Structure 1
């Protein structure tokens, strides 16, 4: 027969375990894998129905704010007594004490449908900003940036359209003159100089317009804070918007000159080869027409080289310039994809844990589970196995 004091000690320990709060579980780090083995028997069909009811109750409580709970809303008045019992101590403590003003602000601040929704991701915001200038600033509620955006883009576009109206007549006059003869004359030189100056101003205004437009798309991505976005996602998005922006976001500044310099070199090579292609294309057209209809040119060939080179030689030069231009375009596309991959991988490596802390920990676990047959909670004993890597 057991000693009376021993019976009292066992009863006291059992009462302590029954009232032990579920929050007594050991904390788990963000980089810890947990495998819990609970020594419990399978539930009956009634337990499964009660479990389904518990899931519905969790969804109800998650849809309510703490103020609604404390105000004894109609939704809560409709609950049965056993429904409240079904929610274990963890859920009740999480609901009563876990909701703060900051948590409530993060949960569904606004919901206005497909076009303006709080569930919209950063990629969709950037795509809509591309189609609708200023959408990202409106979505991020930074309305003060809209006058700057529309001012710079609108002014640059207006100046470009105005200068383009000046450039077009000069270009038509130059083409009409060079389509019949490429002989250098003072009139042709003066016309070409005016056309080059007008084209330079036109390209400058277009560059300002595009730079402002792309900048505000990137600004929408940088200032996006509606939902949690990983640094990898944001760096990749910025790299897609503008080459080098992902490297700047990752603070890999030493890579920016290589990316920007590579793109600047490719743009220069594309323009250089395209001008050479257009030059020899026109010369070949004039020389081929002279060889096909010599009677139309009593003064001889009118191409730039005055017949010093054969049509086959000029055609080969034309094809070489075109081939080099197309190759530079392909290289530019490859460089664009490469800098996106670099920004994506670099962002991943920024958060890569290179610590040597590799450990395994096995600890006891005491938890509570609701048992329908007993109409209450009972302790369940098991273990926690944590792996850190």
Structure 2
């Protein structure tokens, strides 16, 4: 009987705790939800914000869109500088290095197939792994320089004929080199004809591997710089907003004046330092 009463009391205590937690969550969650949407509406300009809220609003806006925080701080002249810096990092850092990485990745894949004796001549014989590799570094059309579909990759066969490398399947793309099992040669011109072209070489697999790894690191570094710059401009907007809202009135000051405090019933001469914070 006593055990039953104790168990019932324990169950009632649990129900009381659960009810209390539910009431607290019902009171807190709507407040937190309302605070979140209130902050969001101020960030996007749907509600006015106070001068004290300006630093965090400028910080959030700069994280969403670089330069927005500077515009909020009436520093609109900084926004075009930030946009040009971001565009330059993408165009000349991320994009160009990514194109070069893809180009040398394609060359590296073809050179790897050659080293595995998976490139065949028109008679079906596998080319020697020591077959010299040449590149045409200046295609006739400048638009082809970083086009992996038209990467100019030549092999010099035993009869001194330069040939391009094409996949054996007719419906596969050179972009998906991993799906290609074999390559074959497409003879294009002789050594005498190649003398009039800008051919460089010979190259090897290691050269292309180092090149692709180098441009991949450059691309990753450019992405890191873009992220760091994004964060720095947001911090700049926050600091600038703090400086604009900093109180420089006379209430924030300190003064030194004579004082004669009582010490053990006697008067003592001295100075007092008074610092006033608002």
TM-score (norm. length: structure 2) = 0.49
Whose strand fraction is larger, Structure 1's or Structure 2's? 2
Higher helix share: 1
